[in-house]
Amino acid sequence: MSVRLLFLSLLCTASGVTHAANQDEGIAGHYTLQAREIGSQLVLQPDSTFDAMIVYAGAQGAAKGHWKRAGDTLLLTSDAVEPPAEKLLFNLSRTHSLAELKDAHLPDGGDAFKQAKNHYVLNLRFARSSPVPSIAPVTVLFEFDEGPETRLIWDNAQGRQLYLPYSQQRNLTRIGFQSAADQAVQWFAIDPVTRTLSLNWKVDRATGQMSYEKSEELTLVQSQQFLRNAPRERALIERNYVLRMNYGVPAQPPAIKPVVIEWSYDDGSQKILRWTDSRQSQLKMPVEEGKTLQRLGLRMSDAQADTQWFEVEPDSRALDLMWDERVNAAQMRDLSGIFKTLALDVKGDCLAVDLGNGLACYRKQD
């Protein structure tokens, strides 16, 4: 079916709906996306349902669902029920010893340390990120225990790292963020031994206000350990402070078919856990005296599936496992997932959105 016929069928289906009263009927209507290389139509019905289609580089997609307005943000939620993912990709990205997990500033060592004292902790992290919204340039201020401050501009929402030359003559004491000259600076105190700082950021779509949350600080030794398989980045950390800016809105993971997790120990024994809920972010296995976790194996519950094995360092207690759905060629050409949880900014007659090709507008047709 051609894209034109596909969208006409959507419009015909939508026209048969009995319209109910809605608190914001004025936004209902037929919209066309004004963007380079992307064709898209959006029909918002007064009963809070929508129909949409999109075409890009020979791929296309269509969706139905519901919309709601929250302040100056329009939220789309697709009604499509997706089958659970049958094939997954895994990567054991990082492991942590008890010594690395212990927070010297807390008498109990901190939550991560307490969890791992008597358990192996497997952190399950969906590798895909949410689409990053466009942002205005942000001034990043670096203050030291002596000498002038340094300012850098973070002007690309896709950019995730800033580098600042390290000097033994002074210590970094805090980092601040300022979105505009008339706005207050949000400051974060920094431990003098920190070389890598990770922060999560979000933007309020209604106000444009940025917010930040400090997630992790690493010393030089910890940074080198984290980058042990990345020689280029490891060389950079030896000469620089590194500020990692991570968009703090996690992507919604797909449902999964059960995954069998095999815990293999140095005495030849094994234990099995089943992971069934993609929203579950952590699994734990009790530590037993006299045995050490040696390998971690993962396979889909299908009896024919191969087990993917990862070697585990002897002192490891927490393991970060990244996972994602294995996408085939047909899935890559289906763009309907764009409308799964799409947020648009209401700006006058423009429903603004960034679909990875710059900020663009859905505009209502007369």
Over the stretch 287-328, which tens digit does the pLDDT of each residue have?
999 999 999 999 998 767 789 999 999 999 999 999 998 876
Distance between CA 13 and CA 7 in Å, rounded? 10
CATH of 88-128+252-325, one of 3.10.450, 1.20.1250, 3.40.630, 2.60.40: 2.60.40
Higher pLDDT among residues 89 and 136, named by residue: 89
Q: pLDDT band for 215, please (50, 70, 90 cuts).
A: confident
Quote the pLDDT of residue 34. 87
Q: pLDDT band for 145, please (50, 70, 90 cuts).
A: very high
**CATH 2.40.128.300 in the chain, residues?**
3-81+329-364
- Give, in order, the Cα–Cα distances in Å from 161 to each of 142, 246, 309, 320, 358: 14, 9, 31, 21, 20
User: Smallest Cα–Cα separation from 98: which of 313, 289, 342, 351?
Assistant: 313
Please say whether the beta carbons of 361 and 134 come within 8 A: no
Distance between CA 344 and CA 72 in Å, rounded? 8
CATH of 3-81+329-364, one of 3.90.330.10, 1.10.8.590, 2.40.128.300, 3.30.479.30: 2.40.128.300
pLDDT tens track for 10-42: 444 444 433 333 445 588 999 999 887 889 999
**CATH 2.60.40 in the chain, residues?**
88-128+252-325
